[in-house]
Amino acid sequence: MLSFRRFLASLGPGTVWLVIFVVGPALILLAYSFLTRTDVGQLGAPVTLENWQRIFGYDALFQEWVPDNLRVLLRSVLVAAVSTFVCVLLGYPLAFYIAAQPPRRKNVLLLLLILPFWVNFLIRVYAWIIILRPFGLVPSTLAVFLGMTYAYLPFFVLPVYSSVEKVDWRLVEAAEDLGATPVRAFWAAIFPQTLPGLIAGVILTFIPALGTFIVSDLLGGSKTALIGNLVQDQFGQAGDWPYGAALSFLLLGAVLLGLWLYARLAGQKGLEELI
């Protein structure tokens, strides 16, 4: 009995906090997404599916199909995917380089990798405005891609690095002894070993890139609006909370689904390693 009280005392407060401030808002988002727009903050308007229909481009009666918002959604996925891909191109070789250094140098290189990312995110994005604006590149799609890649590169490199560090190089030697070309040896002996880090890195890059609104807000224009900008707009100028709630819940659902799939694959340990 006493031990149960201690159990509650240690896990209770934090759990209650998370239920109120994380589960609570999630449920509110879901509930609001089925309501109609009224005065901001008012509940009790008629229940409707209109907000969800609107996301997919339909009006209330399914008569017209105007896929503007669907286009924003697709663009968000595309921009996040391309930025993640560029992060792979830049970061994957870098992880190998760092892992191959002697211990002291390795730590310095890791610190150097992380330092820029302790600088405030807004400031890092703002710096790109200073660089790109004289070339007439703000706002532009290129600027958005650059900003995104820059913003999320370390999230990608760090998990990949921890995988690369654990690579068993004897497998490569074995592959080479068996006559494999270097390329073949890489794909057969190294790449599979780095896959867990690669997957974690892709998740950690793709998810924030999917939800961002600052990068596209500051470096892009209305043509590069992403789902994050759409959400921001519903809670700002457009003042349409129920629609904003539907969009947010869609984003939340997508992320949770991805996380759940990852948890199924990687288990409790994998979840804890994600940060």
Partner 1 sequence: MRRTSPALAAYSWLVYGFLYLPILVLIVFSFNNSRFGATWQGFTLKWYGVLFGRSDVREALLGTLLVAIPSTLVSTVLGTLLGFGLWRYSFRWRTPLTFLMVIPIVIPDVVMGVGLLMLYALVRTVVPFSNGLLTVLLAHVTFQVSYVALTVRARLAGYDRSLEEAARDLGASDLQAFLRVTLPLALPGVLTGALLAFTLSLDDFVVTYFTSGSGFRTLPVLIYTNVKRGITPDINALSALLVGVTALVLVLASVISGRSSAFRRSARRGREDS
Neighbouring-strand partners of residue 58 = 65
Q: Could you give the angle at the alpha carbon of 226 between the alpha carbons of 224 and 228, nearest 5°?
A: 140
Among all chains, which residue has been given the structure tokens 């997919």? 56
- The mark string for 157-176 relative to partner 1 (x by CB under 8 A, - otherwise) is -xx---------x-------
Residue type at position 80 = A
Please state the closest distance from residue 79 (CB atom) to partner 1, in A: 13
The residue (of 58 and 202) whose beta carbon lies closer to partner 1 is 202
Residue 272 interacting with partner 1 (CB under 8 A): yes
Per-residue binding letters, 11-30, with partner 1 (x by CB under 8 A): x-xxx-xxx-xxxxxx-xx-
- Least distance in angstroms from the C-beta of 69 to partner 1: 16
**73, 152, 160, 189: residue in contact with partner 1 (rule CB under 8 A):** 152
Nearer to partner 1, 154 or 220 (CB): 154
Q: Of 32 and 58, which CB lies nearer to partner 1 in the complex structure?
A: 32
Q: Is 256 in the site for partner 1 (CB under 8 A)?
A: yes
Residue 261 found at the interface with partner 1 (CB under 8 A): no
Residue found by looking up tokens 């690369």 in the block = 164
96, 164 in Cβ contact below 8 A? yes
- For position 136 contacting partner 1 by CB under 8 A, the verdict is no
From the list 4-12, 45-53, 57-65, 66-74, the region that binds partner 1 by CB under 8 A is: 4-12
Of the two residues 9 and 61, which places its CB atom closer to partner 1 in the complex? 9
Note whether 206 binds partner 1 by CB under 8 A: no
User: If we measure between CA atoms, which residue out of 50, 80, 86 comes closest to residue 228?
Assistant: 80
In the list 59, 67, 71, 133, the residue contacting partner 1 (rule: CB under 8 A) is: 133
- Of residues 39 through 98, those in contact with partner 1 by CB under 8 A are 40-41, 43, 90-91, 93-94, 96-98
Question: Closest separation between CB of residue 71 and partner 1, Å?
Answer: 19
Query: Which tokens go with 26?
Result: 């999630």
CA distances in angstroms from 138 to 85, 129, 230, listed in the order given: 22, 7, 20
Site residue total, partner 1 (CB under 8 A): 100
240-266 burial, b if ≥16 CB within 10 A, otherwise e?
A: bbbbbbbbbbbbeebbeeeeeebeeeb
Task: Indicate the SS3 state at residue 237.
Answer: coil
The Cα–Cα gap between 52 and 235 comes to: 17
Minimum CB distance to partner 1 smaller for 73 or for 94: 94
Give the containing element (helix H, strand E) for 114: helix 103-114
Structure tokens at 150: 């820059």
Binding partner 1 (rule: CB under 8 A), the pick from 110, 142, 180, 266 is 110
Among 1, 61, 130, 183, binds partner 1 (CB under 8 A): 130
3-state secondary structure of 65: strand
